[in-house]
Structure 1
Amino acid sequence: MKRIVEILVFLIVTIGFAQSSEKFQRANSLYNQEKYQEAIDAYKSIIDAGQESASLYYNMANAHYKLSNIGPSVYYYEKGLELAPNDEDIKNNLVFAQNATIDSIDSIPQGFISGALKKIINLFNYDGWAWLSVLCVILFVVLFILYYSSRTSVKKRLFFVGSWGVLVLGVFGVFFAFKQYNSIKNNQFAIIFSQETVVKSEPNLRSEDIFELHEGTKVQVSETVNDWKKIKLSDGKIGWIPSEDLKEL
């Protein structure tokens, strides 16, 4: 009975993947025919079904960009980068989409060390760093066994240094995985979807207007009060906007 259940589960999963692949190809066909809104609807049906991939978000963003939907295009390029942080196509198209936004916001300069560390951490997502750590532990065990079984001093020295080298790399991998996970968990970002929104000093309509933001601008969400979000810009400015004016990544 257990075996039958396992087979049924396998068949259901296989059929689900096949259907998603078929829908994805159909959506790509619509995109190639320049039926961008129909392609968007097709991509969205895949996302709504719980499927996601960097290529799916990338194509969804491209379709929105073709229709000049700047906010959604930036949003889905950012979603794609979360899954494939080193994808050059997504990075390049994201720059094009960001250049189409109205707001020009300067970032607070980072120190050399913190900037370099951030670049290293962003080489992989936290799953990538975790798998690298697992691989390093396996290599450590293999090299340590080879160290004990070797009979020449040269090989012993080589395997000993190599084993501890990959172990140190594995420890750094765990550290970088936790750093990136905590960064994502503690730094919730969002994209402005409203064509124009007024940032308030407090979470109510009666408070003072501070500045305006426009579609496609990326903000950091730090707090939620009722239907308001407290946001922070890369230049340090903070304020409150209605939740309906943005979409969290």
Structure 2
Amino acid sequence: MRKVLFLLVVCITCFGFSQNNQLFDEANALYNDGKYAEAIDKYEAILDSGQHSAELYFNLGNANYKLNNVAPSIYYYEKALLLNPDDEDIKNNLAGYAQNMTVDAIETVPQVGFARIINNIVNTFNTDAWAKMAIAGVFIFVILFLLYHFSYATSKKRIAFVVSLIGLFFACFSVAMAFQKESLDHKDNPAIVFAKESRVKSEANKTSEEVFRLHEGTKVQVLETYDDWYKIELSDKSTGWIPSKDIKILKTF
């Protein structure tokens, strides 16, 4: 019975992928014919089935850009970049085209000093890579410490001891970097403004003072959630509360 159920699930999954591939090809054909709205409907039908990919989001970004849909084009380019951060085409379309359509010109406050150096080191690798390097460091430490313990030659014992300590230090350093990277990734909660114009408030209620306004396509960081409000931060470190309906979180798949 279990085998039958397993085969049934496999068949349904394969059929779903086949259907989505057909939809993707149809959407691409519509895009090439200049029927961008129809192409978007096809791409979104694939998303509704639960399938996500950088290529799918990239094509959605392109189709929305062709229709001058500012917020959706930036939103989908950003989601594509989350799934494939090294893709130059995504980066070029996002920076070279879509972001030029935004109204808000917000300066980025650069990091300086020691914090900048640490963050640059931390962001060199992802959490998994740092964790693997930590394991490698521990492995080197154990092997060379055993070599130090069982070796009789003084020169070999000295070299093994020094290198084992280096391996231990590297392991501890990598663990620290892994935790720091995990912390940074957890705090990183970007979103895109979808409202044509949104009034950002000093507190999470409609009657509070307006601190500034944002327009569609602007990227923000979500810091807190309270009822139907998000506390956001801009790249210039300005903060305020925005209605949750006015923005879309990027890391929601």
Query: TM tier, shorter chain?
Result: 0.7 to 0.9
Aligned-pair identity in percent equals: 49
Q: How far 1:192 sits from its partner (Å)?
A: 0.5
Q: Deviations over 1:55-81 (max 9, x none)?
A: 111111111111111111111111111
Q: Which amino acid aligns with 1:27?
A: A
Secondary structure in structure 2 of the residue aligned to 1:71: helix
Give the structure 2 partner of residue 150 of structure 1.
Answer: none
Q: Which amino acid aligns with 1:51?
A: Q
Secondary structure in structure 2 of the residue aligned to 1:19: helix
- Shift in alpha-carbon separation, 1:120–1:83, aligned structure 2, 3 A: farther
1:10 is the counterpart of 2:14: no
- Shift in alpha-carbon separation, 1:165–1:12, aligned structure 2, 3 A: farther
Q: Which moved more, 1:108-117 or 1:97-106?
A: 108-117
1:210 is the counterpart of 2:201: no
The whole-number CA distance in structure 1 between the counterparts of 2:23 and 2:170 is 41
Q: How far 1:233 sits from its partner (Å)?
A: 0.9
- Shift in alpha-carbon separation, 1:172–1:78, aligned structure 2, 3 A: farther
Q: How far 1:132 sits from its partner (Å)?
A: 7.8
Give the structure 1 partner of residue 102 of structure 2.
Answer: 101
Give the structure 1 partner of residue 193 of structure 2.
Answer: 192
Give the structure 2 partner of residue 220 of structure 1.
Answer: 221
- Shift in alpha-carbon separation, 1:79–1:117, aligned structure 2, 3 A: farther
Q: Which moved more, 1:180-189 or 1:103-112?
A: 180-189
Aligned residues: 248
Q: Deviations over 1:178-233 (max 9, x none)?
A: 44443332232211001111111122222112111111111111122222221111
1:89 is the counterpart of 2:89: yes
The whole-number CA distance in structure 2 between the counterparts of 1:57 and 1:223 is 27
The whole-number CA distance in structure 1 between the counterparts of 2:131 and 2:201 is 41
Give the structure 2 partner of residue 57 of structure 1.
Answer: 57
Give the structure 2 partner of residue 154 of structure 1.
Answer: none
Cα pair 1:98 1:216 within 8 Å, conserved: yes
The whole-number CA distance in structure 2 between the counterparts of 1:39 and 1:10 is 28
Q: Which moved more, 1:170-179 or 1:15-24?
A: 170-179
TM-score (norm 2): 0.77
Give the structure 1 partner of residue 29 of structure 2.
Answer: 29
1:248 is the counterpart of 2:249: yes
The whole-number CA distance in structure 1 between the counterparts of 2:9 and 2:134 is 31
- Shift in alpha-carbon separation, 1:214–1:30, aligned structure 2, 3 A: same
- Shift in alpha-carbon separation, 1:23–1:173, aligned structure 2, 3 A: farther
Q: How far 1:48 sits from its partner (Å)?
A: 1.4
Q: Which amino acid aligns with 2:228?
A: D
Q: How far 1:19 sits from its partner (Å)?
A: 1.7
Cα pair 1:83 1:125 within 8 Å, conserved: no
The whole-number CA distance in structure 2 between the counterparts of 1:20 and 1:191 is 27
Q: How far 1:104 sits from its partner (Å)?
A: 1.2
- Shift in alpha-carbon separation, 1:125–1:212, aligned structure 2, 3 A: same
Secondary structure in structure 1 of the residue aligned to 2:108: coil
Secondary structure in structure 2 of the residue aligned to 1:68: coil
Secondary structure in structure 1 of the residue aligned to 2:211: strand
Give the structure 2 partner of residue 20 of structure 1.
Answer: 20
- Shift in alpha-carbon separation, 1:54–1:124, aligned structure 2, 3 A: farther
The whole-number CA distance in structure 2 between the counterparts of 1:228 and 1:187 is 18
Unaligned segments of structure 1, at least 5 residues: 148-160
The whole-number CA distance in structure 1 between the counterparts of 2:192 and 2:209 is 23
Unaligned segments of structure 2, at least 5 residues: 148-161
TM-score (norm 1): 0.79
Give the structure 1 partner of residue 234 of structure 2.
Answer: 233
